[in-house]
Structure 1
Amino acid sequence: MNYEHLTPVMGTITDITAYNDDCCSQFVTLSVDGQQINIIMTHDTFVVDTMRLFPGMRIAAFYDSTQPVPLIYPPQYRADLIAVLRPEEDVAIGYFDDSLTAIDNSLRLNLYQSTIISTMNGQAYLCSPANHYLLVYYTATTRSIPPQTAPGRIIVLCQAT
């Protein structure tokens, strides 16, 4: 999976139905600031922690912004990755450098002993998460530039080289 072009859509699930009579794909309807957005979840979609999705859950669905999307209303995207969010929790994905600053300068991470760092399959990540693509769960940021946060959880998106 190419993490560089993943773009999030965050909202609350309002409905889940079968997609095109395919039992392996689902159509997830999200409410995003009062607007409806449809997400296609296929057998290839990675759901963090393999959580079962249901209406009422708040999620972030990441899609590849370089892929074509149909020009329809409501918007429809094919999710590559889905992360379930707790109330007041945000999530970011991106490449973080030596100083744990996102390459686009959108976020800087301050790690604490309480920060949970793992791989996508839930195993402990024992090295520094610097210089990797990271999926970062956090609740609050400073108003500095870049904003700083003490993430509750980091998932290191290891890539084969």
Structure 2
Amino acid sequence: MINFHSFNGTITMISDFPIGQDDEEAGCYKLMSVENNSDELVNFVVTPSTYFVDHVAVKVGDRVTGYYDGDAPTTLIYPPQYEALVMVKENQNQHVKVDYFNHQLVSSDGQLALNISPYTQIVLTNGQTFTQPPTNRDLIVVYGPATFSIPAQTTPYKIIVLCIKK
């Protein structure tokens, strides 16, 4: 179970992020600066394993949410720099929640409960069908309307199962 934290804002810069002397990895890592409406800035290190919801390419000016492991060690620098686990480009037609969902498919913060339908796609990050129950796992949930109850209930369009080892 990963302790997902998020930061939402507008991409202000994307550049290559050198990680060492190895030319084979040159260009494989990116540094993405994101600034929110309060002028707070976060740098995300985007790795080859960072999952982009809907596999979209992002550019400077796009509104995004970056998810990272809140328990991962980080250097004390400004602006803060986190390894991005999941990136979501803002889309008015869908909502996304990245969190651990328990045996009742309720998120760890108790804010969202999932009602899976036969039409809900459940896949791995590589696009292959996930054949086990999605309970007690870290999930990316893509959904539309939700109830106003607590927890809000929704029938997701798609669930992406994160098989990340911590």
- The interval holding the TM-score normalised by the smaller chain is 0.7 to 0.9
Are 2:96 and 1:91 aligned?
Answer: yes
Q: State the distance in 2 between where 1:68 and 1:159 align.
A: 17
Whole-angstrom distance in 1 between the partners of 2:54 and 2:94: 16
Structure-2-length-normalised TM-score: 0.76
The correspondence of residues 11-90 of structure 1 with structure 2, limited to 5 A, is: 11-20=9-18, 22-35=26-39, 36-87=41-92, 89-90=94-95
Query: Does the CA contact (< 8 Å) of 1:60 and 1:91 recur in 2?
Result: no
On the 8 A contact 1:40/1:76 being kept in 2, the answer is yes
Deviation at 1:154, TM superposition (A): 0.8
1:54-95, Cα deviation, whole Å (9 max, x unpaired):
223333222121123333433322213323342253322222
Distance 1:49 1:138, change over 3 A: closer
Q: Which has the higher strand share?
A: 1
Letter of the 1:17 counterpart: S
Q: 1:5 aligns with which of 3, 6, 11?
A: 3
Residue 159 of structure 1: CA displacement?
Answer: 6.0
* Distance in 2 (alpha carbons) for counterparts of 1:141 and 1:101: 13
Measured at CA, do residues 13 and 113 of structure 1 come closer, stay the same or move farther in structure 2, by a change above 3 Å? farther
Q: Cα offset for 1:48?
A: 4.1
Residue-pair matches, total: 158
C-alpha displacement at 1:105, in angstroms?
1.7
Residue pair 1:47, 1:83 contacting (<8 A) in 2 also: yes
From the superposition, tell whether residues 9 and 90 of structure 1 become closer, same or farther in structure 2 (CA, over 3 Å). farther
Match of 1:134 among 116, 128, 139: 139
State whether residues 106 and 113 of structure 2, in contact with CA within 8 Å, keep that contact through their aligned partners in structure 1.
Answer: yes
Matched, 1:117 2:122: yes
* Matched residue type, 2:34: L
In structure 2, the gaps of 5 or more residues are: 20-25
TM-score calculated relative to the size of structure 1:
0.77
